[in-house]
A and B are shown apart, each in its own frame.
Chain A
Amino acid sequence: MTITAADIYLLLPLLLVTGTVVVAMTAIGVKRDYTSAAIITITGLLIAAIAAAVLMPGTNQQVTPLLIIDQYSLFFTVVTCASAMFIAILSYPYLLALDDNREEYYLLLGVATVGAVVMVSSNHFVSAILGLETMSMSLYGMVAYTVHSRSAAQHPLEASVKYLVLSAAASGILLFGMALVYAQTGTLAFSSLIDLADSSRGDLGNGFTVVALLMITAGIAFKLSLAPFHIWTPDVYEGSPLPATTYLATIGKVAMFVILLRFMEASEALAFEGILTILSLIAVTSILAGNLLALMQQNLKRLLAYSSIAHMGYILIAIIASYYAEGRIGIEAVTFYLLAYLIMSLGTFGVASMVSNSSKEYDSVDDYKGLFWRQPVLAAIFTAMMLSLAGIPLTVGFIGKFYLFFAGVEGALWMLLAAMVVGSGIGLYYYLRVIYRMLEPTPESGAFDRSGQTASAFGVVSVLFVLLLVLGVYPAPVIDLIEAISAYI
């Protein structure tokens, strides 16, 4: 198959992100300069996001057998590039005082974003694995980035090795599952597996396919840190420098979820009863385990790690609902909630990294004591993010939860909905605990480091805050957009 100029044009966002990395690398080669590396990356990501947004209307095309460039993938390309840009801006003050080479961090961030863009545009096992591994490899580096610094705040080596080993094992399982599917169908595209139930195409039997699907599900569940494959999450979140945690928790999760969604829809894997049962069990376990384990956490990063496990469980309900409900409400719910999750996670981690730097992270819940009276604006943003994670109205998290509930109701998934109500109820406790800490009187001692609070970082969290409120109060335009793009899945 030949690649035409029109194809190149459609791949423009991906090429722009790649180009950004190359330009940044060359610039570093010419002269080491932290600021210019950061500016090149941020600008490149911004241009890529704009390019994807411009391409979005009317685009729906398979470019090479590996990548699908449709409105859905372009929507998530915009979202991914914009988020990566935000993370890059938030990383700048964090790494400013690092006593090691700082510039290459932005290369890793750029390469990871290349992987993420490939992931959200993938409807083929090869591109899924390529994108996933590109992103993961860069993330190992980002997690371990401060490892040579004498004053590194966290335990980057431990986190990185743990993530590397477990993630590689999960990739292995995922690949094995894909190989089994290939053995059955002879294709690596996410095409329909449902015909296999009639055993007209494959002759290895139904059980074979179910095993293959289970392995793929387990591999993906690991990357999404769904229970019971979540054990690595809190340690890696806690041990990584904050910007790397942010990347892992936001783009890393969202890109993977897009693959899961496309795979489940294209392969119609949910038609296998066993898969449906397993996914339901995973969803319930994630919701309950995530929320219960978050209850007693004193470390903010661990708390958010467990809460992200629960949130991934919530979204899984919508995926299951997409099988039962008529129409595309399940897909819309997944899409909206991913967007909401991205906004509130970025905001939460953004505020956390604004009060931290590479040699001292304020990641204990107690560190936020009195923040409301010391820095009302920052605390108000943080409070809004927490309330959004808890799903309280006026915030985007509420609309997201509304979507999930609605998908669940249409799918008549009463047990899963009950789990979600219980989970959210437990969740309130630990989110409110963080808010309550901020409302307490300021402690007498302990000066706060404000080096992270640059104007640009403030700009980022303010943008996220505004998005959180606007999408929470007047979500109609975005809902219409998501309704339109969900038709492409």
Chain B
Amino acid sequence: MILVTLIAILFIGGLVAWFSERISPTMPRLVALIAVTLDLLLMFSLLGAGDAGGWVATFEADWIPRFGISFYFAADGLSVLLLMLTAFLGIIAIGAAWGEIKERAGFFYFNLLWTLAGVLGVFTALDLFLFFFFWEVMLIPMYLIIAIWGHENKHYAAMKFFIFTQVTGMLMLISILVLAYFHYVQKGSLSFNYHDLLNVSTAGSMGMWVMLGFFLSFATKLPSVPFHSWLPDAHSQAPTAGSVILAGILLKTGAYGLIRFTVPLFPEASMAFAPYAMALAAISILYCAKVAFAQTDIKRLIAYTSVSHMGFVTLGIYAWNEQALQGAIMTMLAHGLSAAALFMLAGGLQHRIHTRDMSQMGGFWARVPRMTAVAIFFSVAALGMPGLGNFIGEFLALIGAFQANITMTVLAAFGLILASVYSLWVLQKVFQGEYRNTDFDDSHLTDLNRREMTYFALMMVGLIWMGMYPQSFLNMSEPALNQLLTSTQGVAVALLQGAL
């Protein structure tokens, strides 16, 4: 029931925020903040140990019995980690929008909360129809956020974001339906229940096609090369809060889908596909790092680095052993914080000087020392400095992947070097060197205020915690991962024996 409550709070909070605009233009943000904070507090009740399968909370009710569809929500350690990330970044996003969104604030916070509600649904739905339902529900408000409060080329970016995700989503829907039909053929009844579908045999060429339907949808969301081209556009045009949600949370739904659904539901097809997926991951890491280096738009640059970092997640997932998966999850969490922080810095800069063009910036250190310090911290975190969360994630992912596919892992490791190159390059370009303000009006270029410092500090604490004491996170996801690994173990052993 708690899971339904969490989602309901956000849905209702969104409506209340929208209508509270009539009372006062500052009410919506307050309502939104209260709703998300309440959610975060409620989530602490999920921290206990779960049952034998690792599930800490479940909820089930009939929905469309004709097709075997139910409201089936369940959360294990993996879900809880991502739920908390969602609520945490939700608060940060509200903070980012606090001063930036002045027009139609009610409708903005409505969309923000509904996106978050959709994401919570995605992380907890264990009925595949319900999962797809939430998968699409989080799209529309996100589309509206980009289309209404975005920057100069928002129409194009919003449209591209929507069409990419929707079309691949439809392929996933067909895959889900085929899978349910498999269940009907093999077990005699229709079911969209995750646990039922895990028992469906999906070996054979049909299984491969169906798996690709899922993979395509998740890889687009992740995103992985070659389905990433929507991301730089969406990010550069979205308002800061939108970017925070996109980079911090929405991308993680793709990775979550791969871990929870694609590999466990299609173990044979995924094992066969793993080398290709890992190759795509390595290409994403290297290619997007290289492309990021060529950007002059600071938001596009960060967007490309996101694609690059998410490559480590794909790499870890398709290595499919405990270390690699732990690495993937740590990278998801750490990247959620670091990318969100970097987008907020970029958004903050744009808000102050009305440009994202790095060739016009330089020497900001003297003008905005606090902002520089924050930027250095998060850039260093993003490039994988030991002691911070991203290092743990990428390190574990690489160790795990090394056991599965040496070539791709070695290639991917070069991404770490490229990451230092572009991260430091941004720092040099924007904050170091000679200060000049010939191309923009710097009258609003002020240093971070107390509100901004607060949420950057929160994110710093998070990253340091992840870097210094990762065990607290690993412990939470371990039972869930063990469960996933045992469910696919039979197939792995069979494949191995076949190879021998």
Q: A421-B171, A479-B66 are in contact. Are A428 and B133 (CB under 8 A)?
A: no
Q: A387-B140, A428-B162, A476-B64 are in contact. Are A406 and B177 (CB under 8 A)?
A: yes
B27 at the interface (CB under 8 A from A): no
Residues of B within 8 A of A474 (CB): 63
Residues of B within 8 A of A393 (CB): 132-133, 136-137
Q: Which of B62, B129, B139 is A476 in contact with, Cβ under 8 Å? A: B62
Residues of B within 8 A of A417 (CB): 174
Q: A393-B136, A409-B177 are in contact. Are A421 and B170 (CB under 8 A)?
A: yes
Residues of B within 8 A of A265 (CB): none
Report Cα–Cα, A471/B137, bound state, in Å. Answer: 16
How many of B's residues come within 8 Å of A, CB to CB? Answer: 32
**Distance (whole angstroms) from the CB of A145 to the closest CB of chain B:** 38
B41 at the interface (CB under 8 A from A): no
Contacts A406-B177, A425-B167 known; 13 new A-B pairs at CB < 8 A: A373-B104, A392-B136, A392-B139, A392-B140, A393-B132, A393-B137, A402-B129, A405-B174, A406-B67, A428-B166, A432-B159, A439-B148, A476-B62
Tell me the A residues contacting B by CB distance below 8 Å: 373, 387, 390-394, 398, 402, 405-406, 408-410, 417, 421, 424-425, 428-429, 432-433, 436, 439, 474-476, 479-480, 483
**Distance (whole angstroms) from the CB of B172 to the closest CB of chain A:** 11
B178 at the interface (CB under 8 A from A): yes
Report Cα–Cα, A425/B64, bound state, in Å. Answer: 26
B204 at the interface (CB under 8 A from A): no
A436 touches B181 (CB 8 A): no
Tell me the B residues contacting A by CB distance below 8 Å: 62-67, 104, 129, 132-133, 136-137, 139-140, 143-144, 147-148, 155, 158-159, 162-163, 166-167, 170-171, 173-174, 177-178, 181
**Distance (whole angstroms) from the CB of A440 to the closest CB of chain B:** 9
A424 touches B170 (CB 8 A): yes
B170 touches A425 (CB 8 A): yes
Query: Could you show 14 A-B contacts with beta carbons less than 8 Å apart?
Result: A373-B104, A393-B132, A393-B137, A394-B137, A405-B173, A406-B67, A409-B177, A409-B178, A421-B167, A425-B163, A432-B143, A476-B62, A476-B64, A476-B65
B173 touches A432 (CB 8 A): no
**Distance (whole angstroms) from the CB of B216 to the closest CB of chain A:** 11
A402 touches B173 (CB 8 A): yes
Report Cα–Cα, A417/B167, bound state, in Å. Answer: 12
Report Cα–Cα, A390/B129, bound state, in Å. Answer: 18
**Distance (whole angstroms) from the CB of B95 to the closest CB of chain A:** 25
Report Cα–Cα, A476/B137, bound state, in Å. Answer: 19
Q: Which of A373, A409, A432, A480 is B181 in contact with, Cβ under 8 Å? A: A409
Residues of A within 8 A of B147 (CB): 436, 439
Residues of A within 8 A of B133 (CB): 393-394
Closest to B171 in A: A421
Q: Which of B64, B129, B148, B166 is A479 in contact with, Cβ under 8 Å? A: B64
Report Cα–Cα, A429/B148, bound state, in Å. Answer: 17
Residues of A within 8 A of B129 (CB): 402
Q: Which of A387, A394, A428 is B163 in contact with, Cβ under 8 Å? A: A428
- Listed residue (A373, A406, A475, A483) with the most chain B CB atoms within 10 angstroms of its CB: A406
Report Cα–Cα, A139/B143, bound state, in Å. Answer: 40
Residues of A within 8 A of B136 (CB): 392-393, 398
Report Cα–Cα, A425/B216, bound state, in Å. Answer: 15
A432 touches B66 (CB 8 A): no
Report Cα–Cα, A387/B139, bound state, in Å. Answer: 12
Residues of A within 8 A of B158 (CB): 432, 436
**Distance (whole angstroms) from the CB of A75 to the closest CB of chain B:** 16
Residues of A within 8 A of B181 (CB): 406, 409-410
Report Cα–Cα, A484/B310, bound state, in Å. Answer: 49
Residues of B within 8 A of A408 (CB): 174
Report Cα–Cα, A449/B336, bound state, in Å. Answer: 49
Report Cα–Cα, A483/B62, bound state, in Å. Answer: 17
Closest to A437 in B: B155
B144 touches A439 (CB 8 A): yes
**Distance (whole angstroms) from the CB of B131 to the closest CB of chain A:** 11
A405 touches B144 (CB 8 A): no
Closest to A420 in B: B170
Residues of A within 8 A of B167 (CB): 421, 424-425, 428
Q: Which of B143, B162, B174 is A409 in contact with, Cβ under 8 Å? A: B174
Residues of B within 8 A of A394 (CB): 133, 137
Residues of B within 8 A of A433 (CB): 159
Residues of A within 8 A of B66 (CB): 476, 479-480, 483
**Distance (whole angstroms) from the CB of B181 to the closest CB of chain A:** 5
Residues of B within 8 A of A476 (CB): 62-66
Residues of B within 8 A of A405 (CB): 170, 173-174, 177
Report Cα–Cα, A34/B63, bound state, in Å. Answer: 46
Report Cα–Cα, A391/B174, bound state, in Å. Answer: 14
Report Cα–Cα, A186/B67, bound state, in Å. Answer: 42
Report Cα–Cα, A483/B66, bound state, in Å. Answer: 8
